[in-house]
Amino acid sequence: MQNNINTLDKVILSTNVVENFHTEYSTNEEFQTWINETIPDLEKCSKQRQNNPWHKYNVLDHILHSIEEMNKQTTHLNHKTRRLLAYTMLFHDIGKPDSHIVREKNGEKIDSFFGHNKKSCEIAKPLLPLLNFDKIESEIILTLVDKHDIFMFIKDFPTTNPYWRTLTPNLIQEEITELNKSGDGIQLLKYLIIVGRSDNLAQNEKMTKESLAMLDKFDRMLNEYTTDTQKNLDE
């Protein structure tokens, strides 16, 4: 098993995740068998299309592209953290096939995946120890997977939509407080921003301009929040 874990690590920490995964899967019979037996939901993801304006790939290819985007952003981090974040992206949408529905929106039928974050956590939880993540690392990955879609519902303008929240310093404080239950809330929120950015960059670029701009502003506001907090502590 460890040889196959090493192979998967090498693939998902590479600069060409999409190509390398498909090549390894199609040419390495042992690896393919291990993946299908250990993480069978990845095969489901390969068959799950996403007929939705926000997406241009099937679920598996979206996942692989999101890992690739994550790796571009984490070159400055240590290997342990880079691995943790890459596997977060591997699992972030793995529950989509089991959450799939077809619904009508604006007169057209689209694929939707409500609650897929919870299903993704259910799938990932028993696998993380097998993939050599300890209890603390597993908790962080599951927290990031569970919350990876929060930015869909955060807007950079006042809103009366009951499902949306407005980006404010108070919202940032609320998220930090919530994330403190799983570790260092500020650090986890920084990771979550990178997760959100990686997710968006693996979607339909015609739809994500506003979301990416909001993430950039969120990032700046979080940096200002941490600077002000440290300043207050030093006084």
What's the pLDDT tens digit per position in 126-182? 999 999 999 999 999 999 999 999 999 999 999 899 999 999 999 999 999 999 999
73-77, 88-92, 101-105, 176-180: which has the minimum mean pLDDT?
Answer: 101-105
Mind listing the pLDDT tens digit for each residue in 124-138? Answer: 999 999 999 999 999
| Higher local confidence (pLDDT), 233 or 177 | 177
Residues 213 and 210: their CA atoms lie apart, in Å, by 5
The distance in angstroms from the start CA to the end CA of the chain is: 53
Q: Any idea which residue has 């519902």 for tokens?
A: 153
- DSSP 8-state symbol, 105: E
Residues 90 and 108: their CA atoms lie apart, in Å, by 30
**Count of alpha carbons within 13 angstroms of residue 79, beta-carbon side:** 3
Percentage of the chain beyond pLDDT 90 is 91
112 phi and psi angles, rounded to 5 deg: -130, 160
87-91, 182-186, 188-192, 228-232: which has the minimum mean pLDDT?
Answer: 228-232
DSSP 147-176: HTTGGGGEESS----TT-EE--HHHHHHHH
The candidate with the shortest Cα–Cα distance to 146, out of 108, 179, 184, is 179
Residue 106 pLDDT class (50, 70, 90 cuts):
confident
- DSSP 8-state symbol, 99: G
For residues 43-75, one letter each, b for 16 or more C-beta atoms within 10 angstroms of the residue's C-beta and e for the rest, the string is ebbbebebeeeebbbbbbbbbbbbbbbbbebbe
The candidate with the shortest Cα–Cα distance to 93, out of 28, 48, 153, 51, is 48
Q: What is the mean pLDDT of the chain?
A: 95
Mind listing the pLDDT tens digit for each residue in 1-53? Answer: 899 999 999 999 999 999 999 999 999 999 999 999 999 999 999 999 999 99
Residues 119 and 94: their CA atoms lie apart, in Å, by 8
Percentage of the chain beyond pLDDT 70 is 97
The candidate with the shortest Cα–Cα distance to 201, out of 70, 19, 22, is 70
Residues 171 and 178: their CA atoms lie apart, in Å, by 11
